[in-house]
Amino acid sequence: MPHVEAQDDSPFHAGELEVQERLGVRDKIGPFAHMAVRDHMPAQHRDFYAQLPFVLIGSVDAQGRPWASLVAKAPGFMSSPDARSLDIAARPLFGDPLNDGLRRGADIGLLGIEPATRRRNRLTGRISSVAPEGFAIDILQTFGNCPQYIQTRDIDILPEDAIASPTAIQGDHFDTRTRAIIEQADTLFVATAFRDAEDDVSQGADVSHRGGKPGFIRVDDDRTFVFPDFSGNNHYNTIGNILLNPKAGFLFVDFETRDVVYLTGEAEIIWRDEEVMAFIGAERLIRFRTEKVIRVEGSLPLQFSFGDYSPMLTHTGTWAEAGEKIAADRDRNTYLPYEVTDVVPESRTITSFYLRRMDGKRAATHEPGQFLPIRVSFPGQEEPVMRTYTVSGATVDNRYRLSIKREGDAALVSNFLHDQAKPGFKLEAMAPRGKFVLDQTSERPAVLVSAGVGITPMIAMTDFIISEGQRTRNFRPTFFIHGARSSQDHAFGDHIRHLAGTYENLIAHIRYSQPEEDDRVGVTHDSEGHIELELLKSILPFDDYDFYLCGPGPFMQSLYEGLTGLGISDDRIHYESFGPAMAFKQADVAASSSDSEPVSVGFAKSGMETAWTADKGTLLDLAEEAGLNPDFSCRSGICGSCATRLKSGAVDYVEEPSAPHGDDEILICCAIPRSNPDAASNGVVLEL
């Protein structure tokens, strides 16, 4: 990561700016930073702190160790004489390290949080005075916080005589009781700090909240735990501090027994690994190793009554789910048994089949747009038949959804599934794969253009964009443009209309080529005819887009040539990478490889020979045209199912394959024969 210098006009220090730069949000946050981060408390913040029965505090002790603390008293113990100061008429709890850290001039961070309403505000400052009854703070920065991941709880103030003499237990590791409190927690508070310039108001101590499903914190040993970091306000105060100073403090509360656990040690940011990828909602992980533990039993003078969990937790996972996903991902190239659980007609030709692993374990992860290789056994047929179908939506209830079109009489598998695949039907599947996926790192508007059953990856991409928008509150502008014959052939029409009517970032345009009598422009569809470049030009405002195309070959070829003709760079145009879409650049590759001359192709086992020309497609296409039935699945060089021994000659790849294959094997789904007029025999021979 490149080092980012702090800016005099920014309310963020160098670590926060560096994280914002890394994650691509700095330009978004910058223009509004001074409106979000103030040097004073607005009136509503002053009133808010005055009504709270407790406040979280982040501080740094004499050894430079951050601690997270909690100060509690009847509402009114906090007051602000003016907008730049806050008085706290209370002392830390028994056993709290803050008792030894209250000193004039010390950096301090505050988090006011109201669990019943999920409201919270934060401020940073310095202690201006300390007295027997409390302390005062000079404010440096204040800002509001979003209500994400806060569990609602009602609070009662306990009378002083209800608090028995608390007991403090100290150590350098988690004992059994401390470990249990951490493992069952749905809430934690983390203190961090960074300062290398005395006069920099963006630096100092901070305290923050994190929430998750019970068990979202995984204890790895008696000194270490790990937890997922979900999306927040994009300020990255905690992460920015840890980046420059890994020392951190944590506070855990047992809301039933009123025990409090204080920890200090070092934190590590895990930006990307298989666990980050597998834990739903995680943007990174934080690993913490403690150096000191203080557990105080029954010290909190508050009684909490649980309300409900944050609705944002529906977008997050668990460690158990993540572990199963990691295990499934490690078996990505193994066919596993699946069962059809539901069958849902989407149009008169397209039906959705929901698949679940028969062992009940989690399905492997996938990216929106990828396809699922399946293997179907037919009665009386010795070998199963392999096919690939797009996963048409997010994995719901640990199931894949395949939306399959009933094709013509020659479409063996799709027709068989439509006729026979009822709930309980068994088949096999590998993990999803494929390179036609949504670029999740791009911030450009996405233009999803499809026709017919090509809608399936576009539904997956649209659902993902909306889901990510709900999770992060950052909705990527999206144009959904689809062509179908009529409403009877249009799958997911109601779903797209609902999303477009609900989310401003999604603009949908539906075009019918052969509308039914009851179809009405403005109701069932938006225009009539076929999708062509002029339609896209009329819908899209001037901007820089990422285009995604999926549909029949001529449909995609026409749009691809039209878009590139407008000067749109090839890397901004993504298209379905198996089947007919491989023809996009094939002619150029074939011409350069063979100089457009016919090349002889022999099939050794079948005793057949034919001539390949540039219009014949791949060697797999040529073999099928000759009446052969080679194994295949992805048609994109990813799964390796079509690996075939090359007995003589040489080939070129239209698209470089990623699947492993033997030294004497080629992947015929993406290979074309290489012409060599100077050879004794100008051609190739395949063991087919």
Q: Is residue 412 part of a domain?
A: yes
| 645 exposure class (CB count in 10 Å sphere: 0-12, 13-18, 19+) | middle
The residues with which 194 forms a beta bridge, in sequence order, are 204
Domain end marker among 583, 611, 641: 583
Q: Average pLDDT of 561-582?
A: 79
Q: Which of 60-74, 85-99, 657-671 has the lowest mean pLDDT?
A: 657-671
pLDDT cut 90: percent of the chain above it: 70
318 falls in which pLDDT band (50, 70, 90)? very high
- Report percent pLDDT > 70 for the chain: 94
Instruction: Look at residues 556, 583, 610 and tell me which one is the last residue of a structural domain.
Output: 583
Find the mean pLDDT for residues 150-168. Answer: 88
In a domain, 9, yes or no: no
The band of 35, judged by pLDDT with boundaries at 50, 70 and 90, is confident
- The predicted pLDDT at position 588 comes to 46
What integer is the mean pLDDT of 23-40?
86
Give pLDDT, residue 329. Answer: 83
Segment among 209-213, 242-246, 254-258, 331-335 with least mean pLDDT: 331-335
pLDDT at 75: 97
Q: From CA 459, how far away is CA 466, in angstroms rounded?
A: 11
Do 238 and 133 lie in one domain? The reply is yes
pLDDT at 553: 83
- What number of residues does the chain have? 688
Same domain, 456 and 485: yes
Q: Is residue 444's pLDDT more than 60?
A: yes
Residue 7 within a domain: no
Q: Which residue has the higher pLDDT, 510 or 570?
A: 510
Q: What is the pLDDT of residue 201?
A: 94
Higher-confidence residue: 268 or 441?
268
User: What is the per-residue pLDDT for 251?
Assistant: 98
Residue 64 burial (10 A CB sphere; 0-12, 13-18, 19+): exposed
Query: pLDDT by residue (tens digit) across 494-512?
Result: 999 999 999 999 999 999 9
Q: Is 591 part of any domain? A: no
Q: Which amino acid is at 116?
A: A
Answering whether pTM is above 0.95, one says no
Does some domain include residue 269? Answer: yes
Supply the range of the domain harboring residue 558: 446-583
372: which residues sit within 8 A by CB, 6+ positions away? 355, 366, 388, 389, 390, 391, 400, 402, 429, 430, 431, 432
Q: Per-residue pLDDT averaged across 627-637, rounded?
A: 79
Mean of the per-residue pLDDT values of the chain: 90
* 418 and 484 share one domain: no
Which two tokens mark 136? 């005062």
Pick the last residue of a domain from 286, 320, 354: 320
Q: Do 341 and 392 fall into the same domain?
A: yes
